[in-house]
Amino acid sequence: MKIPHKAKKVFKGVIFDVYQWEQEMFDGSKATFEMLKRPNTVQVIATQEDKILLSHESQPTKKDFIGLFGGRQEPDENELDGVKREFLEETGMESDNWDLINIYEPIYKIEWNVYIFAARDCKKIQEPKLESGEEIEIMKVDFDEFIDLVIGEKFWGREFAEDVLRMKLEPKKLREFKKKIFQ
Amino acid sequence: MKIPHKAKKVFKGVIFDVYQWEQEMFDGSKATFEMLKRPNTVQVIATQEDKILLSHESQPTKKDFIGLFGGRQEPDENELDGVKREFLEETGMESDNWDLINIYEPIYKIEWNVYIFAARDCKKIQEPKLESGEEIEIMKVDFDEFIDLVIGEKFWGREFAEDVLRMKLEPKKLREFKKKIFQ
């Protein structure tokens, strides 16, 4: 959900800002409502021929995990610029064939979207430039392995995993998805 | 994840409190890390004979939705007391046969658990006492309808829905789950 225009920012954090407003209830009474805002997440299903690239990542405060490449959108860029920047930083790669695949809103009380893009024919043009908190290994898997990893224990990204679980229950959708990402 | 002991509460909100701490990175540099804390969610799969009770709810700021009965755990109560209180308020019912079914952690950066209980042979003992922001209709469905509603568009509760999607892919788990909730 979008934070209402009348809401006031009552706290500015490192990641999360807090907003509050007066909300009229069904019975006419009023209550203070609260929502958060955080930077959007931008991620990419990156392909090379018939393979997909995944990130196997370690961070200081959590167990190692598998995920799509990507990160946080910066205030001064749009989603596509953000995902291109993160992908280049993490892998040293670029692509000239991008499409938006899906947008998720993970939590109702947080204004926060997750954008998933596809990027085809990814090519390495420089060395990765990792942040001090990141250690990333690039995995290269075929489509069936990709699907199994996404619905597996170590995958990071519940909304996308839920989508893939739904596709597994409707094989037609899974085939359409495969077509879409490899195009 | 649990917020580290050394973290300081930097903001106290209506629902969300914000905590920050200094985190040492892999390269020895330091960064300010931030996490949130909010009250746990307590919910119940409530049964009467071979039927399950669901809530069809309207609230002032979102579309109508279907969910389990339940709400927020209060600071002065444990999870089971919390879910019994919420269930009684919303339905006027009680049960003397409760079990914890699962615990979810929806978001990594928020210290927040979702507890799902089962309650069997629920009986009405008083009228519901709804909060000013709630309008609730009680639905009574069989197990197959329940599963379809949980993975449907209107269901509120992504973590439980994801679990049910996984069960649909492994029918043995779905049968075990059915046994568990009706016991």
Closest by Cα among A122, A115, A124, A110 to A78 = A115
- CA dist B106 and A162 (Å) reads 13
- Supply the pLDDT for residue B183: 86
For chain A, the C-alpha Rg in angstroms (whole number) is 19
Report the 3 state secondary structure along chain A: CCCCCCCEEEEECCCCEEEEEEEECCCCCEEEEEEEECCCEEEEEEEECCEEEEEEEEECCEEEEEECEEEECCCCCCHHHHHHHHHHHHHCEECCCEEEEEEECCCCCEECCEEEEEECCCEECCCCCCCCCCEEEEEEEEHHHHHHHHCCCCECCHHHHHHHHHHHHCHHHHHHHHHHHHC
A-contacting residues in B 89-118 (Cβ below 8 Å): 106-109
For residue B19, what is the nearest residue in chain A, using CA coordinates? A13
Per-residue pLDDT band at A7 (split at 50, 70, 90): very high
Q: A60 and B24 in contact by Cβ < 8 A?
A: yes
Average pLDDT over chain B, rounded to an integer = 94
pTM for the complete prediction? 0.88
Residues on chain A touching B135 (C-beta within 8 angstroms)? 26
CA distance B49 to chain A (A): 30
What pLDDT was estimated at residue A81? Answer: 98
- Compute the distance between CA of residue B60 and CA of residue A26 in angstroms, rounded to an integer: 7
Q: Are strands A30-37 and A110-111 parallel, antiparallel or unpaired?
A: parallel
Chain A positions in Cβ-Cβ contact with residue B29 (cut-off 8 Å)? 132
Q: What is the rounded average pLDDT of the residues B51-70?
A: 89
Selected residue of A25, A30, A136, A147 to mutate for chain B interface (largest B Cβ count, 10 A): A25
State whether B20 and A13 contact (CB < 8 Å).
Answer: yes
Least confident range from B51-60, B113-122, B126-135, B169-178: namely B126-135
pLDDT of residue B58: 80
Facing residue for A62 by CB, picked from B108, B132, B133: B108
Average pLDDT over residues B2-26: 94
Across the interface, do B132 and A162 touch by the CB < 8 Å criterion? no
- Length of chain B, please? 183
Task: Say if the Cβ atoms of B13 and A11 lie within 8 Å.
Answer: yes
Please report where in the chains the tokens 């919420």 appear, as a residue. Answer: B86
Which residue in B has a C-alpha nearest to residue A166's C-alpha? B165
Q: What pLDDT digit, counting tens, does each position of A113-168 carry? A: 999 999 999 999 999 998 766 789 999 999 999 999 999 989 999 999 999 999 99
Section B110-129 average pLDDT: 97
Distance in angstroms (rounded) separating the CA atoms of residues A65 and A53: 14
Measure in Å the smallest separation between the Cα of B121 and chain A Cα atoms. Answer: 32
Cross-chain CB nearest to B14 (options A13, A32, A158): A32
Give pLDDT, residue A62: 72
Residue A167 identity: M
Higher pLDDT, B141 or B108: B141
Which pLDDT band holds residue B164 (cuts at 50, 70, 90)? Answer: very high
State the ipTM, two decimals. Answer: 0.83
What local confidence, expressed as pLDDT, does residue B169 receive? 93
- Distance from the Cα of B125 to chain A's closest Cα (Å) equals 25
Would you place residue A21 in the very low, low, confident or very high pLDDT band (cuts 50, 70, 90)? Answer: very high
Rounded CA separation A37/A4 (Å) = 12
pLDDT tier at B112, thresholds 50, 70, 90: very high
Assess whether pLDDT exceeds 90 at residue B93: yes
Give the chain B residue whose CA is nearest to the CA of A171: B169
